[in-house]
């Protein structure tokens, strides 16, 4: 019997396949905190770090790229604990930047999935695979081209298939088989998705082809998505063919690892097994659901804290999500009856498990462990404060003769004081009260809807659309970065940026608030460089060469990598993908100048500037 491949072996096999068989260049994972992408708080797909190159910028490593990208998705955080949902995951991806297109992409995907293991593939059961393609609408035709390439591999359109045919092609609309654009306008196109049946081959419903992709049974698991950026959507809603057609693919490492190892959940693979074993050994009241949440959330926290652009827990944006993940994990540690502070112990397991491929975790291990230890202590204090607030509420209820804690009050304890519902229920029972859990759920649901709407509307536009306004503001961040170093010191480094068509937001490390005089000095420097109309150019060089030239930017572990280094005259030199204005003077068109509207804290040791061109 074959020994199942580990996740590390699958990751390496995937990258090697595309390097050796298809001429791709391996690139490192981008940050989990996207640079200059205002549409998301975290990198949720492999394409995020490559947006400038998908928009037409030249990549230093060429037109064929492959990597494993660190991703964080928190939209379905409440679903974590089932067999499929994860907040952190690795997305294997291969890209064509105006090079090959649908045929080669489909051919290589099929070959990697089904070739013998000794030939570099995964040797998956071909009979369990089916695919989906875009069905078309009034604006864009059905993707018969992609379907024809699947037909060349023996697939049959579901509408033409006989009862015994398993490799079927299904067609779906834009909800299932279309990507983009990221903004209102931009590159977009159809995709083809690859599904793998994970159920019983003798199940009568499977035998009779009653299971299909995207149905309520979820026995066909999507494992690979090949996006074909074929069109440009304009402001009128029309679609035209792109001159540079790109391919963006994604293969979920955790999902494929589960399939290769014959288990129904990533939590049953070696990626989580050591932590699960620790929890089983230490829990007084073990339950699988809480253990999965702990495993998932602390792994995510380790990767966010360990990222070169990582941050500390805070009450805003990415720092707030990080804090929520850590505290939710700690709450479930308590539910297991574990009184010890074991978050640090769990983090050490993940650092050891992943440091071979993500060496930044070992480099930043001190920061990761100290922040987790600090957050665990802060949360213990939060629980004490919440308990005090509970007894204040109890006193008021006793005076009024009430016996039911309303859903609104229970949610306030949760939302304002971070006090978990189950702890409110536990204390209520101890004091002869009940909790309106249905009312809590209603308040919680309303809160979720408002949060999702806020996230969707938080940012408008974005660098992904490469509009003239965002390009100018992105260029301004380079001038701002250097000006901050001139005024505050060389310790200043970028910790994140976010750009919309209206403003830039720039996060940087500095312990103290800027004084009015410092803010005025930074503004003056930036505007002097804008007025000087400095030329902007770039060179491709190695990281070592970039360092030797004094370039600033996130170097991470990219030694030996080639990068693009942008210069603004002889004032600013920085590693960046682009895009940028042709010269600094372009920022002043229409008589505009740079102005800092706000400087504030956004986390411990991190300051945030909001700036505009007005």
3-state secondary structure of 339: coil
43 within 8 A of 70, measured Cβ to Cβ: yes
Which of 373 and 452 is assigned the larger pLDDT?
373
Name the pLDDT band for 455 (thresholds 50, 70, 90). very low
610 within 8 A of 504, measured Cβ to Cβ: yes
d(CA 321, CA 72) in angstroms, rounded, equals 10
Q: Which of 284, 164, 267, 176 is nearest to 220 (CA)?
A: 176
CA angle 331, 332, 337 (to 5 degrees): 100
The segment(s) of the chain belonging to CATH 3.30.930.10 are 7-268
Burial class (CB in 10 A: 0-12, 13-18, 19+), 418: middle
d(CA 210, CA 212) in angstroms, rounded, equals 6
What DSSP character marks residue 6? P
Name the pLDDT band for 452 (thresholds 50, 70, 90). low
Name the pLDDT band for 454 (thresholds 50, 70, 90). very low
Mean residue pLDDT of the chain comes to 90
- From the CB of residue 2, how many other CB atoms can be counted at a distance below 10 Å? 7
Question: How long a stretch of residues is the chain?
Answer: 614
Q: Are strands 536-542 and 562-568 parallel, antiparallel or unpaired?
A: antiparallel
Burial 18-50 (b: 16+ CB within 10 A, else e): beeebebbebbbbbbbbbbbbbbbbbbbbbbbb
Backbone angles phi, psi at 508, to 5 degrees: -150, 155
d(CA 256, CA 417) in angstroms, rounded, equals 40
Domain 7-268 indexed as CATH 3.30.930.10? yes
Comparing 209-218, 440-449, 479-488, the range with the smallest average pLDDT is 440-449
DSSP string, 215-239: STT--EEEEEEEEEEEEEE-TTS-E
- The per-residue pLDDT for 164 is 86
3-state secondary structure of 436: coil
d(CA 502, CA 494) in angstroms, rounded, equals 20
Class of domain 467-613: alpha beta
Comparing 54-58, 287-291, 416-420, 455-459, the range with the smallest average pLDDT is 455-459
pLDDT tens-digit map of 130-187: 999 999 999 999 999 999 999 999 999 999 999 889 999 999 999 999 998 866 778 8
The segment(s) of the chain belonging to CATH 3.30.980.10 are 467-613
pLDDT at 457 over 70: no
């Amino acid at each position: 019997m074959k020994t199942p491949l580990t996740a590390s072996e699958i990751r390496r096999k995937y990258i090697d396949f595309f390097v050796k068989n298809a001429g791709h260049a391996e690139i490192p994972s981008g940050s989990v905190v996207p640079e200059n992408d205002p549409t998301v708080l975290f990198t949720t797909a492999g394409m995020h770090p490559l947006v400038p190159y998908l928009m037409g910028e030249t990549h230093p490593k060429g037109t064929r790229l492959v990597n494993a990208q660190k991703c964080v998705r928190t939209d379905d955080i409440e679903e974590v604990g089932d067999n499929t949902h994860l907040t952190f995951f690795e997305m294997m991806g291969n890209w064509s930047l105006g090079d090959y297109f649908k045929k080669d992409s489909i051919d290589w995907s099929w070959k990697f999935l089904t070739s013998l293991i000794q030939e570099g593939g995964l040797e998956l059961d071909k009979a369990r695979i089916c695919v989906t393609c875009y069905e078309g609408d009034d604006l864009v035709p059905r993707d018969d081209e992609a379907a024809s390439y699947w037909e060349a591999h023996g697939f049959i359109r579901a509408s033409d298939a006989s009862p015994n045919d398993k490799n079927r092609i299904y067609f779906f609309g834009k909800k299932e088989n279309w990507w983009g654009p990221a903004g209102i306008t931009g590159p977009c196109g159809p995709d083809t998705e690859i599904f793998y049946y994970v159920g019983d081959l003798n199940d009568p419903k499977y035998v009779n082809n009653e299971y299909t992709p995207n149905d309520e049974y979820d026995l066909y698991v999507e494992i690979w998505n090949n996006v074909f950026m074929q069109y440009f959507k304009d402001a009128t809603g029309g679609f035209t063919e792109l001159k540079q057609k790109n391919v963006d693919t994604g293969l979920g490492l955790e999902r494929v690892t589960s399939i290769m190892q014959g288990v129904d959940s990533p939590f049953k693979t070696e990626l989580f097994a050591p932590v699960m074993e620790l929890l089983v050994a230490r829990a007084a009241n073990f339950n699988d659901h809480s253990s999965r949440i702990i495993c998932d959330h602390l792994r995510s926290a380790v990767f966010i804290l360990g990222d070169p652009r990582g941050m500390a827990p805070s009450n805003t944006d990415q720092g707030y999500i990080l804090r929520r993940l850590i505290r939710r994990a700690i709450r479930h540690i308590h539910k297991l009856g574990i009184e010890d502070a074991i978050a640090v112990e769990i983090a050490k397991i993940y650092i050891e498990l992943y440091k071979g491929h993500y060496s930044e975790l070992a480099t930043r291990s001190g920061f990761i462990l100290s922040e987790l230890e600090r957050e665990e202590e802060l949360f213990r204090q939060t629980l004490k404060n919440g308990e005090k607030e509970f007894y204040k509420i109890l006193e008021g209820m006793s005076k009024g003769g009430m016996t039911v804690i309303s859903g609104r009050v229970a949610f306030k304890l949760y939302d304002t004081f971070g006090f978990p519902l189950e702890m409110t229920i536990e204390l209520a029972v101890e004091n002869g009260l009940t909790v309106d859990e249905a009312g809590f759920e209603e308040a919680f649901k309303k809160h979720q809807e408002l949060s999702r709407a806020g996230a969707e509307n938080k940012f408008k536009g974005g660098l992904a659309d490469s509009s003239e306004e965002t390009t100018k503001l992105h260029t301004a961040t380079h001038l701002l970065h250097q000006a901050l170093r001139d005024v505050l010191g060389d310790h200043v480094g970028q910790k994140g940026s976010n750009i919309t068509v209206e403003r830039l937001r720039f996060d940087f490390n500095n312990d103290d608030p800027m004084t009015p005089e410092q803010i005025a000095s930074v503004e003056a420097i930036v505007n002097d460089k804008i007025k000087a109309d400095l030329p902007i150019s770039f060179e491709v060089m190695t990281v070592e060469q970039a360092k030797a030239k004094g370039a600033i930017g996130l170097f991470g572990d990219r030694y030996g990598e080639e990068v693009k280094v942008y210069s603004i005259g002889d004032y600013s030199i920085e590693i960046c993908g682009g895009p940028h204005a042709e010269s600094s003077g372009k920022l002043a068109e229409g008589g505009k100048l740079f102005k800092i509207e706000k400087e504030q804290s956004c986390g411990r040791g991190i300051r945030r500037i909001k700036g505009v061109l007005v």
